[in-house]
A and B are shown apart, each in its own frame.
Chain A
Amino acid sequence: MIDLALLLLQEGTTAHPEPIGVFRFFAAFVLIMTFFSSFLGFTYWISKDE
């Protein structure tokens, strides 16, 4: 697990040559999934009683 974390934080990315780039990639992914599933779930919740 620690090895994987160290691997993920290695430098050399072309997106951002810093570990922050890798962090931001995953942050964006988590945020997209969170927003999408929340809005979808909310829409289902307001529609299901009819």
Chain B
Amino acid sequence: MPIGNLDVPVIGKNVVIAVLVQTHILFAAFIIGAVLIAATSEYLGMVTKQPNYERFARNLARFVVLLFASGAALAITFVLALVTLFPVFFSILQNIFFWVFLVEAFMFLGQIIIVYAWYNVWDKLAYRKSLHVVFGFIAGFFGLMAMTMIDAVASFMLTPAEVTSQAELVARSFLNQTMVPLNMHRFIGNFSYAGFLIAGWGAWRYLRTTQDSEREYYDWMGHFGLIWGFGFLIMQPVIGYGYLKGIRESAPESFNTIMLGPKAWVFNLLVFWIAVLSIASTAYFVHKLRFTVKPMETLRKLAVGGLGFTALFTLLNVIPADADLIPQIGLSFLGGEDTSIPLGSMYPWKYIGLIGLMLVGFFVVALYLRATATGFHWGRASRWSQYALIACSVFVVFTMVTMGYTRETARRVDNDPGYLINNCVPLDQSVVSEGCPTEPIMKAAE
């Protein structure tokens, strides 16, 4: 190898990359989701003339402007770490995705310029509100495009495209088998993640404030955030299924590892987080339906039924397939792998659980939106309902981290070897001579 193989003491170089990327994603996903939610809120404020929307949009825009520095600093540090610790791997990626990285850089630049402009001309364009709202949506669009570019690279690392000639390398690698489903999954996820964090933030402020007007505003903010958070969360099972289907067809060994094999526990962990998110959100909706301006007891009773079904379906999702819970640390009982648990199988129970969760979720959200149309008495929510929102904001972060780990660990089927680009470039940055579907990578190494 022409370049020294550097390592990092104690934590190792993989952890350095994981920490920088995952933390960056936690900021970047929030910024993309928050910009689009704030722009929508500004638009709603313009249309409905309700002051909460405008106040919320402006405060969120300011927070995003300030938060941008952390997200960007982590991105730059990550690229520096990648070039230093994985130079050969980075040069392979650069050879394939030069144009993608270039477009991403300009999208990132566009996002910064427009987000800052959007916030700074808030007063100047007060009488040209439509134009100002467009600024917000354009900033969100640039963010989404930057995400799309990096999704092409991330999806390629797990499912490298079948490429036989140099001429088709860039296009086929960009549109590899899991690029579109991953992008859809993250597009929806941005709204959900940002929504839950906003809800948690509103709840925390609600619990700390002593002024009635502020309590009303933060109560509304928690409600508004949760509609985004839970509303988009319930779309994820179908989109996530599409993504996993893509992985199963293109990288079946990786699929088996994370869904059925030794790393299946990460998915059990994931559905556990989703169970907490779903139950806490539905419980909040049930609680909130007590404070409608026009009493809606029937709707509330239906929502209580929805909460029961949510609990039932999420419970069905978290039951493991066998008694070998986490083989990596020896956490197994009653005979481990040989003892299958009847209600834990994928078909039909997990499908019933996931589809049921979605249907009940849509039902409860529809009930809640119906009640929202008539209005709520704000500022009367209980402390426990706010704790539910705060729990959502914590568990959505756990969900993001768990999903990030799941996708990356899918390339380490038996760790003999673990791959940086699945079946093409192992962790030691050598290039495998056979089995790699992207032939130009192998030819370049010869």
A14 B11 Cβ-Cβ under 8 A: no
User: Which residues of chain A have C-beta atoms less than 8 A from B409's C-beta?
Assistant: 15
B12 A14 Cβ-Cβ under 8 A: no
In angstroms, how far is the closest chain A Cβ from the Cβ of B69? 8
In angstroms, how far is the closest chain B Cβ from the Cβ of A37? 9
Partner of B67, one of A14, A17, A43: A43
B328 A12 Cβ-Cβ under 8 A: yes
Does B62 lie at the interface of the complex (its beta carbon under 8 Å from any beta carbon of A)? yes
Interface of B, secondary structure class, is: helix
Q: How large is the interface on A (under 10, 10 to 19, 20 to 34, 35 or more residues)?
A: 20 to 34
**CB closest chain-B residue, reference A17:** B415
Interface of A, secondary structure class, is: helix
In angstroms, how far is the closest chain A Cβ from the Cβ of B204? 10
B23 A35 Cβ-Cβ under 8 A: yes
Name the residue in A16, A31, A36, A46 with the highest tally of chain B Cβ atoms < 10 Å from its Cβ.
Answer: A36
User: Which residues of chain B have C-beta atoms less than 8 A from A12's C-beta?
Assistant: 327-330
A7 to B174, CA, bound (A): 43
Does B109 lie at the interface of the complex (its beta carbon under 8 Å from any beta carbon of A)? no
In angstroms, how far is the closest chain A Cβ from the Cβ of B67? 5
**CB closest chain-B residue, reference A21:** B328
In angstroms, how far is the closest chain A Cβ from the Cβ of B397? 7
In angstroms, how far is the closest chain B Cβ from the Cβ of A1? 15
B26 A36 Cβ-Cβ under 8 A: yes
Task: Enumerate A1-36 residues with CB–CB distance to B below 8 Å.
Answer: 7-8, 10, 12-17, 20-22, 24, 27-29, 31-33, 35-36
13 contacts between A and B (CB under 8 A): A10-B329, A12-B328, A13-B328, A15-B415, A24-B14, A27-B15, A29-B401, A32-B19, A36-B397, A40-B67, A43-B66, A43-B67, A50-B62
